[in-house]
Amino acid sequence: MARSAWLWRPAEVRIMRPDDANVAGNVHGGTILKMIEEAGAIISTRHCNSQNGERCVAALARVERTDFLSPMCIGEVAHVSAEITYTSKHSVEVQVNVMSENILTGTKKLTNKATLWYVPLSLKNVDKVLEVPPVVYSRQEQEEEGRKRYEAQKLERMETKWRNGDIVQPVPNPEPNTVSYSQSSLIHLVGPSDCTLHGFVHGGVTMKLMDEVAGIVAARHCKTNIVTASVDAINFHDKIRKGYVITISGRMTFTSNKSMEIEVLVDADPVVDNSQKRYRAASAFFTYVSLSQEGKSLPVPQLVPETEDEKKRFEEGKGRYLQMKAKRQGQAEPQP
C-alpha cells in the first residue's frame, strides 16, 4: 500500500557544546551536516522498510546545495526535522530543516535547509539496490516537480564523477595566496564507530571530515576566523567500507571579495584488499567567509592561480559564483 506524501519525522533536539564549535564559538558546518544526514537516514530507512519484503538500509547518494543561513553558537539548541518529498523507483528525496533556539530568550531562527537523496541497500547484499515503496502525492504537480529534480541531480552526479578524476599533489615551498600554499589533506582509518551496522561509512561522517579539511584550507589562506557559508552539491560516488583508509584533500579554487570556494575530494584505499584499487568516493565544493572577532565579514586575500589547471578551475569557480549570485538577486527581486 502506498504511503501519503509528505512523510514527516519529528525534530531531533540537541544542545550545542564546546566540542561542536570552533574557537570563536560558532558551530562547525560539519557538525550540522552530520545532524542533517542522520535525520535523513532515519526517515528514508524507515520508509523503505514500511512494506513487507527484503529489509534494507538507506545510504546517502547526494546532498544538494546547502546554504548556512545563520550561524549557530555554543549553548543554542538545534532542532532538526525531516520529510520525504519525492520517491523514484530506487531513490528517496528528503528535505531537512535545521532551526536554532536560544533557550534563554526563546528566539528561534532557520539556520539550514537541505535536500538529500538516498538509495535503499539490501541488508543481505549491500551492493544490491532495492525498490522504494511509492508515496501518494496530494497534488500531481508535486510528483512532476520531484521527477524534474530527480532527473537533474542524476545527470549532474554522472558528470561530476568523471570530472573529478585528478588528485591534489603537494608542492614544496609554495608562495602565500597560491593554491599550493593552503591546500590540505587528512588521512583517516575508517573504524567501527564511523560505520553503519553493515560496515560502510555514514554519509554524515564523511561530510564532517570534508568540512574540517575545507575549513583548514580557508583558515590557512586568510588566517582569520572562518565559517561555512554554503556547500554545493556533495556527490557520493561509491561506498566506503570499514577498514579502508580515506584521504580527504582540499584546495582553493576561487575567491571573490568576501568568499572562498574550496574543492574537496575523498579517495578511498582498500589497503587490505588487493583486488580493488584506490577510488574516488565523494566530491564537493564548499564556500567559506572570513569573519572578524566581532563576527563581521572581512575581505578575502585574492587567490593567485599559477598553473593552467588552476586558472581553469578559477574560471569555473567564478562561473559558479556569478550564477549563484544572479540566482540570489533574482529571488530577492519583488515579484510583479
Active-site amino acid positions:
22, 211
Give CA separation, 97 vs 35, 46, 78, 84, 189, in Å: 10, 18, 10, 12, 31
CA distance 320 to 261: 10
Pairing of β 7-15 and β 245-255: unpaired
- Listed in sequence order, the residues at least 6 apart from 335 whose beta carbon sits closer than 8 Å to its beta carbon are none
CA distance 36 to 23: 23
CA distance 165 to 160: 9
Closest CA to 313 of 186, 180, 157: 180
Q: Compute φ and ψ for 47, nearest 5 degrees.
A: -65, -45
221, 181 contact by CB (below 8 A)? yes
Closest CA to 120 of 196, 191, 174: 196
